[in-house]
Amino acid sequence: MAATSGSRVVIVGGGFAGLFAARRLKAPLQVTLIDRAEHHLFQPLLYQCATGILSEGKIASPLRALLAKHRNVEFQLAQVTGIDAAARKMTARRPLGEEIEFGYDYLILAAGVRQSYFGHDEYAAFAPGMKSIEDAMRIRRRVFGAFELAESATDPAERRRWLTFALVGAGPTGVELAGQIRELATKTLRDEYRHIKPGDARVLLFDGVSAPLASFGPKLSAMAARDLGKLGVELHMGSIVTEADLGSIGVKDKDGNVTRHEVGTILWTAGVAAPPLAEAVAKATGAETDRAGRLICGKDLSLPGHPEILVTGDLMCLDKLPGVAEVAMQSGLYAARRIRHEVRGETYDKPFRYHDLGSAAYISRGRAVVSAFGLNFGGFIGWLAWLFIHIGFLTGYRNRVGAILGWWFAFTRDLRRERTFTVDDTPVPTGAYGHLHGPDHPEGTDP
């Protein structure tokens, strides 16, 4: 069909896939980008926000600002609630509760994924994952708050519990967060307390696989295990979480033995699941999903029988592609390219091909592991490569400069300048100070 002012493209999700697609769809196409958050987030650095190196403003940018020069693109703050694939319409709910409807000629699904607790969603109340700014700030409260509670505790056993951190999942997020907590304890906080030694903090890393960063291959996995061991991270590989509560975690090892660990903080960095949108789309289109609920799409990213619906980023299931930023960027660009050709009446039969630019994981200052262009390396060279990769992927000049400054203070002077937190979210039964704060009970007053 020919491109006209009536050619409408709706994009669900303002992550890498959605943003890269929106920027490539030019007038006369009318583009609407829908997201329940007002910002684009650089998720790979959330753990640095959680551990005080970078502020949330350095890893997130307002979507309206990023799209300001793209006059044919409109941003809508809303949460998609349903889809009518036959009528090519989507419904969404705005923050004040208003229902709104969007018609489309093309639909790009780029909604990403959420944390999976493998059927134990009750764990989310005390074991936060890390997928959003809210998650990172919650983890910051838990991590820095744990040291404060340990300093306040008078019972040695209680103090040890608060200085014990359990992380579930030894992929990149778990490895990076584990390394940062140990580095925080042994460097940044080492001289700040009078009754505890932050360096005594234990960081326990659990995963059912045999080694950390297993997806990086045996060489880099072994390198990561070695560096984590030097940092003092305790690796519990081949361990599956069987139960968890506010103050402990039970894990079963490969021999079937269950061990209970008393911990003050549990952080969940394992597993992903598709959002409810994927199930709604599957029901409306007859599309199949994988075990995580992601939509199985064709080589052209479309759903069977619905060439106008393209699935991108983490939400798509295609050729076992990893859920990384590079896949999201490239799939978003491909979707936009295909739509541009088709609305001009041109045939576009090239399948999506992912060009692997490599993977990188930060271990600690001066240590990282990188797999890129057929090369596997780590140590200081890997760390430098990690720096350049992440500087390049950050959105916006100001964010790049801000990240460099944050890293400079953290890496050269052991300073983490983004450590502000509140204790309202402290994981104790009665809440901070023995009561919960709220509009009826302001801080500093009794309920």
For residue 377, list its beta bridge partners.
370
Q: Which residue, chain included where needed, has tokens 């890496």?
A: 411
Location of structure tokens 């234990």: 202
Q: What confidence category does residue 112 fall into, taking pLDDT thresholds of 50, 70 and 90?
A: very high
φ, ψ (nearest 5 deg) of residue 296? -85, 120
- The phi and psi torsions of 70 (rounded to 5 degrees) equal -100, 85
Q: Tell me the average pLDDT of the chain.
A: 91
| pLDDT above 80 for 444 | no
- Percent of the residues in the chain that have a pLDDT greater than 70, as a whole number: 94
Q: Minimum mean pLDDT among 25-39, 219-233, 238-252, 410-424: which range? A: 410-424
C-alpha radius of gyration, the chain, whole number: 23
205: CB partners within 8 A, 6+ apart: 167, 170, 174, 175, 178, 212, 228, 233, 234, 235, 236
What 3-state class would DSSP assign to 73? strand
- The pLDDT-based confidence of 445 (bands split at 50, 70, 90) is very low
Strand locations in 104-178, DSSP E?
106-109, 114-115, 164-168
CB neighbours (10 Å) of residue 4? 11
Whether the Cβ atoms of residue 188 and residue 416 lie closer than 8 Å to each other: yes
> Could you say which of 98, 122, 176, 262 is catalytic?
176
Sign of the dihedral defined by the CA atoms of residues 332, 309, 298, 314, in that order: positive
How far apart are the C-alpha atoms of 53 and 44, rounded to whole Å? Answer: 13
Helix (H) or strand (E) holding 283: helix 276-285
Mean pLDDT of 427-445: 55
The first and second tokens of residue 299, run together, are 């080589």
Residue located via tokens 């040890």: 160
Nearest of 279, 236, 281, 280 to residue 260 by alpha carbon? 236
Q: 171 pLDDT exceeds 90?
A: yes
Residue 176 is a catalytic residue: yes
Task: Give the Cα separation of 447 and 437 in Å (integer).
Answer: 8
